Structure formats: structure tokens, C-alpha cells
Structure 1
Amino acid sequence: MPYKWTTAPESSAQEMRLWPHQSLPAKGFAAFILTTFTLILIPTMTLLGTILLWGILPFAMLAVAGMYFALQSNHKSRQIEEVLTLDNDTARLIHTTPKGEVKEWECNRYWTTVTKYEKDGPVPQYVTLRGEGREVEIGAFLSEEERIELFDDLQRSLKR
């Protein structure tokens, strides 16, 4: 589950940290690029010593470079983090975008409501927090099943 609840031992504040699922770790990324490079070069072995190798080699390297930059771009766009802090009086959500922008929302915990839009949101099972005249999304990058569990967890935590 790409979110985790923590409770500070000296206070009653709860903190939930959410992040997108990262299915390709750094070692897997390197292995994938190396495997792609190797598999592209296998057919070119028969062309060693011919002029055709120099005609095909730039396109093979372009394919490997394209794969590398596409995976790097995807990794950078997944650098999202949301931190929801619940203490006795307030609920506070801090959303950090991939570009490093920080968006904050704060509300009295008593008036905070959790809403789940099963089909009306931008994604199925869209979860929002509402309070202080604003409605903010939470966990939109999670899978549908994870958003359902998140909704249940948030309802339980806000009732305490």
C-alpha cells in the first residue's frame, strides 16, 4: 500500500504519507536499459566489418536513448507526495507536485468531511476532503482499490 500512518509517541497527532507506486526501482531501470541495449545489438553482430553497421547503429542508439529518456521522464512525473496530519483540532494536507510546488490545506478536524465520488470524479473512486469552504483531492494517483481503502481509513481516523 503506497501510504503509511504514523503516530508521534509524545502527542496524539497522526500523520499519513501518500506516494505513487514505483514499480521500477533503480536497479531494475539499469537492468532494463542494459537488456534493451544488448538485444538491439545482437542482430547487428552479423554486420560487423561492413558499412551497413554504421547505417544501422545510429538508429539502434536512438532507440535506446529514447527508452532511457521516456523512463526518466516517467520517474520524474511520479515524484508526488501528500502528507495528511490529524491532531486534536486540525486536519492539514500538504501536497508536493513533481516540480516541487507545495500546496497546503487546513481545516478544523470536526468540520472535515471525506467524500468518495464513485463515477463523477476525474478517476473512479475519487476521494476528497472538504472543509473551510474548499474541497481538495487526496490520493488521486493511487489505484482504484487503494482509493477505496484510503476512503475507509480516512473516515475511521477522522471519527476519533
Structure 2
Amino acid sequence: MAVSKATFEDEADRFEKPVFSAVIRPHRSLSPRGFRILMALVCLVSVAASLPFVFMGFWPIAGFFGLDFLGLYIAFRVSYRQGLAFEQLELTPIRLLLRKVSDRGEAREWQFNPLWTRLDREVDDEFGLQKLALISRNQHVVIARDLSPEERETFADTFGRALSDVKRGY
């Protein structure tokens, strides 16, 4: 019986080809352009509101308006910085790879055997899906923290179907 080398390579490629792949990033509703516009408006309002106090001789109040502006600016910069973090999931027939990258670029990776991995859901009757975790043997890793409960539910359904397909041999 002659089996070509190409057949083995095709079979190996089939097991390495992703069945499911997702990147989860924190949602930021304000674009960088919107941030600049917002900060310009806050600055204008702060200056306009502090000018009467300066003319009356209460100039330290202008400094407090400046501190408010500075605090708001720092809060948005921290929020945008945290928006750089992401989670990456890649499911193949022989491996489930979870990679979490922090806003500082520090990466952590977990590898699971898809046949031994299950998706654990923590559902609140009032608020929906609160927590989603991968459980395999003695590992328990929370995923999709940055999604809303509705998005987390959709993600869990889609990912759960892909995981079930892999377990059945799709």
C-alpha cells in the first residue's frame, strides 16, 4: 500500500488549522478624535467658568478648575492605556491556546487539550452571564472579562459550539 507524503502533510495541516479564533479587546466608546474634542470643550468650559473668579480676585479657584481638567485627562489616558490589553483564543483539533496580554505588553499563555476542556458559565438570573471560564483538569482560567453579559453569552455560545465540534471530531 503506497501512501504519499502529501497525505500525511495534509492530515497534519488539518490538525493545526484553527477551527475557532477570537481576539477580545476592552471596549472604548470614545475615539481618539472624540477624546480631543471632549478635552477641548472641557478646557474651554473650565477657562470660561474660572475667568469671573479671577477677575474678582479669587484666582486660586482657577487652579482647581485646572486640577479637574488634569484629573479628567489622566483618567482618560489610563483608560486608553488599559484598552491595549487583549485576550486571544485559538482552537485547533489538538490544542486550545489562550493568550492574555496586559496593557504593559506582558503575555501569559495557557494550553489546553480540547477534549479535556469545558466551558464553565456563571449566570445571574437578573444580570445574565457574569463569568466565563475554561476548566481543564486542575486549571481554571477566566476568559472574556471585557465583554458585556450579552456579548459574553453570544461568545460563549459560539465558542461552546466550536469546542463541541472539536470534541465530536467535526
Is the aligned partner of 1:152 residue 2:157? yes
2:95 equivalent to 1:65: no
- 131-140 vs 38-47, which moves further: 38-47
Q: Which range moved further: 28-37 or 57-66?
A: 57-66
Shift of 1:103: 1.3
Give yes or no for contact 1:125–1:148 (8 Å, CA) kept in 2: no
Give the aligned partner of residue 3 of structure 1. none
For residues 67 and 147 of structure 2, the distance between their equivalents in structure 1, rounded to whole angstroms, comes to: 33
Secondary structure, aligned partner of 2:132 = strand
Higher relative contact order (CA 8 A, sep 6+): 2
Q: 1:33: which partner in 2?
A: 39
| Aligned residue runs from structure 1 range 2-151, under 5 A | 11-46=17-52, 50=55, 52=57, 54-119=59-124, 124-151=129-156
Change (3 A) 1:81 1:12: closer
**RMSD over equivalenced CA pairs, Å:** 2.2
* Unpaired runs of at least 5, structure 2: 1-15, 166-170
Q: Which has the higher helix share?
A: 2
TM normalised by structure 2 equals 0.76
Runs of at least 5 residues in structure 1 that lack an aligned partner in the other structure: 1-9
How far apart are 1:35 and its partner, in Å? 0.5
Helix, strand or coil: the match of 1:52? coil
Question: 1:32-77 deviations in whole A, cap 9, x for unaligned?
Answer: 11111111222344467x4626333222211111110111112222
- Give aligned-pair identity as a percent: 25
TM-score (norm 1): 0.81
SS at match of 1:136: strand
Contact 1:44 1:53 in 2 (8 A): no
Q: How many residues align?
A: 147
